[in-house]
């Protein structure tokens, strides 16, 4: 009998065969002095794993190498102490900017205009991280893959920041979403990156502005497509999000015309088994009329 074929691995829409995995092992053996991130960049170059812009998918590759290492398929060098692993919590600043303030009560009209500021500078990054880390129930984690962040601001407040938003790479598999679109496995792999996930949404706990959340979602739906395409050269056609029903009812998503599709199984991002699965409610929002045709192309 012939030798058993090495099983393939599919990660973030790309399938790696046995030959690919052997090349990765050889490269790791030849470059053991490199850090894990340097290895990820080298693997991307070796296998031509790129975004449409031509930029290497180093973040996704870093996560993939650690995934293979955890499964025992490869052996990575020890982590360098200065590195930060994607998907893991990191240090949260503790400053006066993130301290709770007196309640702010009113309507959107009282504090208009409401705007979304793209997080760009180091100071904005630190503020976003602190507010999410201190006031969002999921906390701050270094995200998987592509992501885009906003600070939510109200012009008539000082300081103006009233919340935070993050959009990131979509979930790899969700049965209700995939059935609703009409995807088979191959079409999902081909078009998955046309979906963007609203992975963090925070209105600060002392902000009580009526209809603020649904207003923010409406603003975000009008600009995330253009912002995402400018950054990643991929034009999304559908947004998705997961809501924990034990904490929230999803009222703001319903008010902003998001579509409820069902409840997830509660399994992890890459089909990891969890001791206590927590099912989430799945909502989606089409960014254009012919979104389904684009996702089935």
pLDDT one-digit tens code per residue, 88-143: 556 788 899 899 999 999 999 999 999 999 999 989 999 999 999 999 999 988 77
Q: Quick check: 75 and 31 in contact, CB under 8 A?
A: no
pLDDT at site 271? 41
Token pair of 241 as six digits:
């999000």
Q: For the chain, state the CA radius of gyration.
A: 21
CA distance 221 to 174: 21
pLDDT at site 55? 80
Beta strands in 131-236 (DSSP E): 147-154, 161-168, 195-203, 207-210
Longest dimension (CA), the chain: 77
Q: Quick check: 76 and 66 in contact, CB under 8 A?
A: yes
Beta strands in the chain (DSSP E): 9-11, 14-16, 104-107, 114-118, 147-154, 161-168, 195-203, 207-210, 238-243, 259-263, 281-286
pLDDT by position in tens, the chain (length 297): 444 577 888 888 788 988 888 888 887 876 666 778 878 888 887 788 888 777 888 888 888 898 888 888 888 887 765 445 555 556 788 899 899 999 999 999 999 999 999 999 989 999 999 999 999 999 988 776 678 999 999 999 999 999 999 999 888 889 999 999 999 988 998 898 899 999 999 999 999 999 999 999 999 999 999 999 998 888 999 999 999 999 999 999 999 999 999 998 765 444 444 456 688 999 999 999 999 999 998
pLDDT at site 272? 42
CA distance 65 to 80: 15
Relative to beta strand 195-203, strand 238-243 is parallel
Spell out a b/e string for 104-119, using b for 16 or more CB atoms within 10 Å of the CB, else e: beeebeebeebebeeb
Half-sphere exposure (Cβ direction) of 145: Cα atoms closer than 13 Å: 23
Q: Quick check: 35 and 83 in contact, CB under 8 A?
A: yes
pLDDT at site 142? 72
Total residues belonging to the chain: 297
């Amino acid at each position: 009998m012939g030798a058993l074929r090495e099983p393939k691995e599919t990660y973030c829409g790309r399938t790696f065969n046995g030959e690919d995995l052997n090349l990765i092992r050889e490269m790791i053996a030849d470059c053991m002095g490199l850090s894990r991130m340097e290895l990820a960049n080298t693997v991307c170059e070796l296998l031509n794993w790129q975004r449409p812009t031509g930029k290497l998918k180093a973040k996704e590759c870093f996560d993939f190498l650690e995934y293979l290492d955890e499964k025992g398929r490869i052996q990575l060098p020890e982590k360098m102490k200065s590195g930060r692993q994607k998907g893991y919590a990191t240090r949260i600043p503790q400053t006066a900017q993130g301290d709770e303030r007196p309640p702010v009560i009113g309507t959107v009209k009282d504090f208009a205009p409401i705007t979304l500021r793209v997080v760009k500078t180091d100071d904005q990054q630190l503020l976003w991280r602190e507010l999410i880390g201190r006031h969002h129930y999921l906390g701050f984690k270094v995200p998987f893959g592509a992501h885009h962040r906003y600070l939510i601001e109200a012009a008539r407040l000082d300081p103006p920041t009233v919340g935070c938003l993050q959009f990131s790479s979509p979930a790899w598999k969700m049965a209700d979403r995939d059935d609703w679109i009409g995807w088979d496995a191959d079409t999902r792999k081909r078009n998955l990156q046309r979906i963007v996930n609203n992975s963090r949404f925070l209105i600060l706990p002392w902000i009580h502005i009526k209809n603020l959340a649904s207003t923010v979602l409406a603003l975000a739906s009008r600009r995330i497509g253009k912002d995402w395409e400018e950054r990643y050269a991929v034009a999304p056609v559908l947004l998705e999000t997961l809501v924990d029903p034990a904490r929230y009812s999803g009222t703001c998503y319903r008010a902003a015309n998001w579509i409820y599709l069902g409840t997830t199984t509660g399994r992890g991002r890459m089909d990891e088994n969890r001791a206590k699965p927590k099912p989430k409610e799945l909502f989606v929002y089409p960014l254009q009329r012919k979104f389904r045709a684009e996702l089935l192309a």
